Structure 1
C-alpha cells in the first residue's frame, strides 16, 4: 500500500506553493502563446503525456507497478476530474480574454479554499487567514481592473477554473496523508492525457514542429514541476495557510512580463501588488510565530 506522512511544516509548505506558482505562471504564458495555433485539448494532452511518461518511468524504476498503485482510487479519480475542469477551463479562458482579467477571476480560488477548509477539511480557519485571503483578493482586483468587457465566455471559463482548482486542492489536502505527490500527479496527468486525446475527434490536431515542439516539452516540465510542488505544499501545511499564497502568481506574472516583454507596471499594478505581497507576508510571519 502506498502511504506517506502528512507533515506540519507551514513554512516549507508556503515556500513550495510560491515556487510551484512561479512554474505554473510561466506554464500559463507558454500555453497562451500556443493557443492561437493549437486546440485546447491538444495543449492539455501533449503536456500531460510528457509528465505521464516521465513519472511512470521514474516511479516504475524505483518500485515497479506497485509504486504506481494508489491507495484511494476514487479520490484519485475525483482529483483528476477536478484537474480536468480547471485545466481545460483556464487554457480556454486564456485563449479568449486578456490574461489580467482571467487571472483576477481565477484568484477567487484562495478565498473559496479558506471558506471551505473548515466545513470540508475540519481545519480551524481563524480571523488572520480570512483577513489575508480577502486583502490579497482586493489587491488582485485593483491590478486586474475588471471591466464589463471581462464578463463573457472567457470570464465564465475562468470562474470554472477557479471552482475546479478549489475542489482539486480540497481533495489534494484530504488524500495528502496517504498518497505521495508523485502518484497523485501521475494519475491526474493520465486523465488529462486521455481527455485531451478524446478532443481530437471534434477539433482536428496539427502536430507541433520546430520551436513549437520544444515549447510543448517545456509545458510538460513546467506543469509537472508546478503540480508536484503544489501537491507537496498541501501535504506540509493546512490548505487555508497556503491558499492565500496563490496570489503570488500575480507577482511572478509582473516579473515575467517585465523581463520578457518590457511591461512597465503602473500605479494600480504597484498598489495591488503591495496588497498581495503584504497579505502573504503577514500570514507567513503569523504562521512562523505559531509553529
Structure 2
C-alpha cells in the first residue's frame, strides 16, 4: 500500500472522530451555557452575545487570511436573511437552555431536519417522497412524546428548543442557496459579523451585563469551543461523504446527556427514551432515503 493510499484509507476514521469531537464540543458548549444562565444568573441574551462575539474574534483572522476579497458578495440580502433567522434561533436556544435540562433541549432541537424537509418543499419546491413525509411525522411525534404537552407539569419554555430548530432549519436552507455562489468561510464570517451587533443590541436591551468570575470563563470556553466544534464539523464533511458521517452526529444525544448528568445531576425522564428513539430513528430513515436517492442519481449519470 502506498503512502497516498494509506492516507486515503484513514479519511473515514478521521471523519468519524471529527464528527464525534464536534458533538462532544457542542455538548460542552451547552453545559457552559446552561451553567452560566441557569445557575449563575447571566441573561440568555448576554450569554449568546459573548459566545458568538468571542467566536468572531477567533474566526475573523482566519477568514481574512485571503484579504478583504473574502468579504465580497453579490448576495447580501440572503446573508441578512440568514443572519436574522440564525439570531432568532440562537436566542431561543440559549433561552431554552436557561429553562429546561440539556437532555430535553438537545433531543427537541434534533427535529431541525424535519423542518428542513418542510421548508425545502414550501420554498424550493423540492420533491418530498412518502418516506420523508413519514419520517417528518414520526420525528415530530417523538418531540411531542418528550414534551408531554398534555400533562400538568408541561411548561411553555420547553417549546423554545423546537422553535430554535425551526429557525435553524431556515438558516440551513438559506445556506444551501448561498453555497451555490459563495465561499464556505465567507458565509461563516458574514454570519458572525452580522450576528454580533444584533446580539449586542439584544443583550443591552436585557440589561447587558459583563460577566465576571466563573461565568466569564464559562462563556470564554463556550466561544472557543463553538469555533472548535464548527471546525471539526467542516473537517468531518471534507473527509467523508455526509451519508457516512451523519450517524455519528446522533452521538451528540448521549454526549449531552452525559454532560447534563455529570455537571448538574440531570437525568432523563421515562418519556424521553421512547421520544428520542423515534426522533433518531426518523433521522436515520431520512438519511437512508438520501443514500438511495444519491445512488439512483449516480446510476442515471453513468447511464447518461
TM-score bracket for the superposition, by shorter chain length:
0.7 to 0.9
Matched, 1:47 2:51: yes
Task: Please give the residue correspondences for 1:200-239 in structure 2 after superposition, counting only pairs within 5 Å.
Answer: 200-227=203-230
C-alpha change, 1:265 and 1:208, in structure 2 (3 Å) is closer
Displacement after TM superposition at 1:51 (Å):
1.8
The equivalent position to 1:57 in structure 2, one of 55, 61, 66, is 61
Displacement after TM superposition at 1:77 (Å):
1.0
User: Aligned partners of 1:129 and 1:21: how far apart in 2?
Assistant: 25
Matched, 1:135 2:177: no
Displacement after TM superposition at 1:44 (Å):
1.8
C-alpha change, 1:186 and 1:219, in structure 2 (3 Å) is same
C-alpha change, 1:101 and 1:267, in structure 2 (3 Å) is closer
- Gaps spanning 5+ residues in structure 2: where? 1-11, 296-304
Relative to the length of structure 1, the TM-score reads: 0.75
C-alpha change, 1:201 and 1:208, in structure 2 (3 Å) is closer
User: Aligned partners of 2:123 and 2:235: how far apart in 1?
Assistant: 20
Q: Is the 8 A contact 1:140 1:247 kept in 2?
A: no
Partner of residue 85, structure 1: 88
Relative to the length of structure 2, the TM-score reads: 0.72
User: Aligned partners of 1:284 and 1:41: how far apart in 2?
Assistant: 34
Q: CA RMSD in A?
A: 3.9
The equivalent position to 1:273 in structure 2, one of 272, 276, 295, is 276
User: Aligned partners of 1:245 and 1:115: how far apart in 2?
Assistant: 24
Matched, 1:123 2:126: yes
Partner of residue 30, structure 1: 32
* 1:229-252 Cα shifts (integer Å, max 9, x gaps): 6789999999xxx99998765444
Matched, 1:189 2:166: no
C-alpha change, 1:273 and 1:39, in structure 2 (3 Å) is closer
Displacement after TM superposition at 1:57 (Å):
0.5
Partner of residue 72, structure 1: 75
Q: Is the 8 A contact 1:20 1:229 kept in 2?
A: yes
Displacement after TM superposition at 1:215 (Å):
1.6
C-alpha change, 1:118 and 1:212, in structure 2 (3 Å) is same
User: Aligned partners of 2:97 and 2:266: how far apart in 1?
Assistant: 18
The SS at the match of 1:150 is: coil
Matched, 1:165 2:165: no
Q: Is the 8 A contact 1:42 1:197 kept in 2?
A: yes
Displacement after TM superposition at 1:67 (Å):
1.7
Matched, 1:177 2:180: yes
The SS at the match of 2:67 is: helix
C-alpha change, 1:172 and 1:233, in structure 2 (3 Å) is farther
Displacement after TM superposition at 1:73 (Å):
1.1
